[in-house]
Each structure stands twice: as structure tokens, then as C-alpha cells.
Amino acid sequence: MLGPTTTASSMEVAVTRALADGQDLLVCAIKSRDGAGLRRGILSLLGLGPGLTPAGDDFLTAPALLSALPDSVLGPFARALEDVLREHPGRTTRLSAATLDEALAGRARASLLDVLHALARPSGGSEAHVTQTIRTPVRHVLAIGHTSGTDILSGLVTGLRLEKELRGSL
């Protein structure tokens, strides 16, 4: 997630700090397989930030989508997120709740799925070719909302790192 700009208000700085803290809490809970910590991490991010899809929700969207992949190690995260969404229906916007529900079911914006497809293709080419293959889908995700694309990609990188660390690879 993006850090605050030099002209950021004290509120923006506080939200940015809370997003980083929530991300750290969630990652630690996933790594340690701490169910209560998962819920705390999710609750610390859910609904955090302004807009129709708050930054915390955008971040959670990508690991939710990854959790729907076969053999994902993020199953406990998915179950905790489902529980939190059911138990706290007013915690975020309806649009964000629907987006998270869809991601948990393996459905997302085409641009995000294009990034996953590009990452899943055998690299067979040079590093420059691989970079070019992923560049366009990433740019399309970055174009989502004011910061939503960046927040989603931050969640994707975090989720992929967790998958690799906990399982070895995708």
C-alpha cells in the first residue's frame, strides 16, 4: 500500500499507519496459524480507509482470491474472513463486502485475473519478455480507483509471498 504523501493530512498518516499495522498483524497470524490473530488482523483492515472500497478491503481482496485457488494454504484466512464478514455486516461498504465475497469464490475483476494468468504462464523467455508480459495487466490493475489498484496489488504480493513461504510455491 502506498505511504502518505508529503502533503498528507494527519488523518491520512494515521490511516496509512493503521493499514501497515493491520497488514503486519494479519501476516503474522497467517504464518503462525493463529485463528484469533487472523480475526484481529482482518478486523483491523476491514472497512479501513475512505471510499466505496476502503484500502484495507482492497488489500484483503487479493489474498481472498488466492485462497480460492486449488491447494492454497490460505484456507484458514478465507474461513476467518467469511466469518468476520457474516458477523460484522456493517463493518464495510456493501460494494466491498460483495467484492470480498466474490474473491472468496474465485471471482474478481478481469484485470486482476489477467495478472494471475500472466504470473502463472511458464516464463520460457528472457526476463525482459516476462516483464513485458506482466506489465500491461499490472497497469490495468493500477488504474482501478484512486488507490484501489495499488492496494489490491499489495495484497496480491503479500498473499503470493505467504503462499511461497508456507508451501514452497504456487
Indicate the DSSP class of residue 49: S
Q: Is 89 helix (H, G, I), strand (E, B) or coil?
A: coil
Residues 6 or more apart from 126 whose CB is under 8 A from it? none
Block residue for cell numbers 493491520: 22
Per-residue model confidence as pLDDT tens digits over 18-77: 999 999 999 999 999 999 999 999 999 999 998 899 999 999 999 999 999 999 999 999
Whether residue 2 is contained in a domain is answered as no
Per-residue model confidence as pLDDT tens digits over 98-144: 999 999 999 999 999 999 998 887 666 667 766 778 899 999 999 99
Which range marks the domain in which residue 44 is found? 10-109+144-167
Whether residue 125 is contained in a domain is answered as no
Whether residue 14 is contained in a domain is answered as yes
Mean pLDDT of the chain: 90
Helices (H), 105-147: 110-120, 127-142
User: What is the per-residue pLDDT for 3?
Assistant: 61
- Give the separation between CA 51 and CA 86, rounded to whole angstroms: 21
163 pLDDT higher than 60: yes
Judging by beta carbons within 10 Å of its beta carbon (0-12, 13-18, 19+), is residue 68 exposed, middle or buried? middle
Percent of the residues in the chain that have a pLDDT greater than 70, as a whole number: 89
The count of domains in the chain is 1
User: What is the per-residue pLDDT for 72?
Assistant: 94
Whether residue 79 is contained in a domain is answered as yes
User: What is the per-residue pLDDT for 123?
Assistant: 63
User: What is the per-residue pLDDT for 95?
Assistant: 96
Whether residue 92 is contained in a domain is answered as yes
- Are 63 and 41 within 8 A, CB to CB? no
| Residue with more model confidence, 105 or 9 | 105
User: What is the per-residue pLDDT for 67?
Assistant: 96
Residue 13 binned pLDDT confidence (cut-offs 50, 70, 90)? confident
Whether residue 159 is contained in a domain is answered as yes
Cα 75 → chain centroid: 14
Whether residue 78 is contained in a domain is answered as yes
- Give the separation between CA 118 and CA 132, rounded to whole angstroms: 10
User: What is the per-residue pLDDT for 19?
Assistant: 93
User: What is the per-residue pLDDT for 169?
Assistant: 56
Residue 5 binned pLDDT confidence (cut-offs 50, 70, 90)? low
Whether residue 95 is contained in a domain is answered as yes
User: What is the per-residue pLDDT for 51?
Assistant: 85
- Taking phi over 0 as left and psi of -120 to 50 as alpha, with beta for the rest, 49 belongs to left
